Structure 1
């Protein structure tokens, strides 16, 4: 009887404590941006953080945790308390490619709760303004005439994948130059210190429109509605030079479903805002479909991305630089 009484008391205490726990969120939420400031990931993180404050009723603080291709920032989230107060903005590099490129102390498929897909992001191949080429055919010809002279910014796994695929498809060679993120790489491209850069349109369109860099191709089979003036890889003459791009929100595994639901509801509300949609379009982003904005839709999308790209990355021999 004594054991039963203790068990009942503990159960009642737990129920009382749960009932007294403040509703989520009762304090600021930290959104980890796993790359340095100035890149496309940081830009979208700050848009979402500012706009999610309203529906959540709490400040969303962006914290840049760069390094190792975004794997340090993602690892910070994987090891965080699963209470919804630490989440990250993930993308193809740190939530797909890094599972092959790096030896991680966390599992990309098992240690995260997908919150929702934000956008599909065209990836552009850019050249410095002074490079004596105006299109992909001209680039390939110049590279063959100057073997090994072209340097290519290696700011993350996607860029390295693009460089390796381009070399394989065109029979050319490039020198990979490591960068900590898209922001520093773009700065050097604009200054003429680097020849080529593969980066999301969100981090490039302002410079492309200003004429400070050249957009040679959208690394996809077809043109994107978000960047209709940039030819696809197929049109540019290098079919198969494709690279995925997307943004999504993740929480640590074990985050309660009701907390994930609240974060997702805030995200969905922000993505439905015409002002945000216009801003995404201005940055060259396509807002994700409503189905993929759900945790379930994003989980299925993420699983399919891993199943598609891990074999390709392994076959191409992509390694951390």
Structure 2
């Protein structure tokens, strides 16, 4: 694969500039005329993972602000498409919203049988948070650093298998395989929680997943090893951890969570929802929870998020073509 390593994340970097500042932290008055009934916040993963934790913290605070329940509705399956389809088929009135990850922009390039049109049936409301990715290993794996993992995988092709819960993570690991000259095998999961349980039980050797406080507790008590983090710089939760780029020069990967609404939702309503979410993201207790699960608040306008989605599609297209990855 001949990819521009340093520019691999550059296409969307501008959209990842943090925008959650003092203005966003001010508590606004309830939005006039919205909501008029409970709001559903769709999470396309099972309970217990990073996306679910983020959604529940936001929902709790939004419910107080909106004076209506905000119900987290977990809809895992089909590489996040089952949950996102609920939003795509909802009324364009803001009462059904969805949290999405990188799979949102990758799925259209992986599947010819999408149940909805990503760009037509959905609209970006805002970027929420970004997160660092990490490689965790069961203690039985005879590798503890990025260099040792690469050496092991090269020496015994096919021996090392990694668990993953999103298509973007799969592609990030296949990019690592390509750049490192390895053939680590993939094991799909519907969500991070079950994958972590199986890793702790020794049923899988390696897990590519967001860096979280909960996972780091397992590392600190010796139940897991942290092989390394995937970003271009050290993560606050694990500042001493090795970077995967130390063994595979030029490799880097991080992810982001975003909020989407039904396509055709009035722009003024999208802006109001965005402002209310931004205010919640700026609250001290929410910021503390976000950082506790290893994420960083970003914030954006709807226009910036939609531009980010297009940039992400352009960024991942050559990776998908190079790996030949398909969902069907």
So what's the TM-score if we normalise by structure 2?
A: 0.84
SS of equivalent residue, structure 1 residue 245: strand
Structure 2: give runs of 5+ residues left out of the alignment. Answer: 1-31
Q: 1:240 aligns with which of 237, 250, 253?
A: 250
Do structure 1's residue 101 and structure 2's residue 120 form an aligned pair?
Answer: no
User: Which residue number in structure 2 is paired with residue 222 of structure 1?
Assistant: 233
**Aligned-residue offset at 1:226:** 4.8
Bigger radius of gyration among the two? 1
CA distance in 2, matches of 1:297, 1:207: 37
CA distance in 2, matches of 1:147, 1:261: 50
**Aligned-residue offset at 1:188:** 0.5
CA distance in 2, matches of 1:293, 1:206: 32
SS of equivalent residue, structure 1 residue 163: helix
CA distance in 2, matches of 1:100, 1:44: 27
CA contact (8 A) 1:33 1:73 kept: yes
CA distance in 2, matches of 1:297, 1:316: 29
Q: 2:287 aligns with which of 256, 262, 277?
A: 277
Q: 2:35 aligns with which of 25, 37, 40?
A: 25
User: Which residue number in structure 2 is paired with residue 142 of structure 1?
Assistant: 152
User: Which residue number in structure 1 is paired with residue 132 of structure 2?
Assistant: 122
CA contact (8 A) 2:245 2:252 kept: no
Deviations 1:100-128 (CA, angstroms, capped at 9, x unpaired):
12231322222212111111111111111
User: Which residue number in structure 1 is paired with residue 261 of structure 2?
Assistant: 251
Q: Map 1:204-219 onto structure 2 (within 5 A).
A: 204-219=215-230
Structure 1: give runs of 5+ residues left out of the alignment. Answer: 1-21
Instruction: From the superposition, tell whether residues 117 and 209 of structure 1 become closer, same or farther in structure 2 (CA, over 3 Å).
Output: farther
SS of equivalent residue, structure 1 residue 199: strand
User: Which residue number in structure 1 is paired with residue 66 of structure 2?
Assistant: 56
CA contact (8 A) 1:205 1:284 kept: no
Q: 2:99 aligns with which of 75, 83, 89?
A: 89
Instruction: From the superposition, tell whether residues 167 and 106 of structure 1 become closer, same or farther in structure 2 (CA, over 3 Å).
Output: same
User: Which residue number in structure 1 is paired with residue 306 of structure 2?
Assistant: 299
Instruction: From the superposition, tell whether residues 254 and 273 of structure 1 become closer, same or farther in structure 2 (CA, over 3 Å).
Output: same
The structure showing larger relative contact order (alpha-carbon pairs under 8 Å, at least 6 residues apart) is 2
CA distance in 2, matches of 1:42, 1:162: 22
Equivalenced residue count is 295
Instruction: From the superposition, tell whether residues 204 and 239 of structure 1 become closer, same or farther in structure 2 (CA, over 3 Å).
Output: farther
Aligned structure 1 segments of 4 or more residues deviating by more than 6 angstroms? none
Deviations 1:36-74 (CA, angstroms, capped at 9, x unpaired):
112111111111111111222211100111101101111
CA distance in 2, matches of 1:298, 1:205: 30
Do structure 1's residue 320 and structure 2's residue 320 form an aligned pair?
Answer: no
CA distance in 2, matches of 1:298, 1:225: 25
SS of equivalent residue, structure 2 residue 79: helix
CA contact (8 A) 1:153 1:159 kept: no
**Aligned-residue offset at 1:155:** 2.4
Instruction: From the superposition, tell whether residues 229 and 283 of structure 1 become closer, same or farther in structure 2 (CA, over 3 Å).
Output: farther
CA distance in 1, matches of 2:118, 2:282: 28
Supply the RMSD in Å over aligned alpha carbons: 1.9
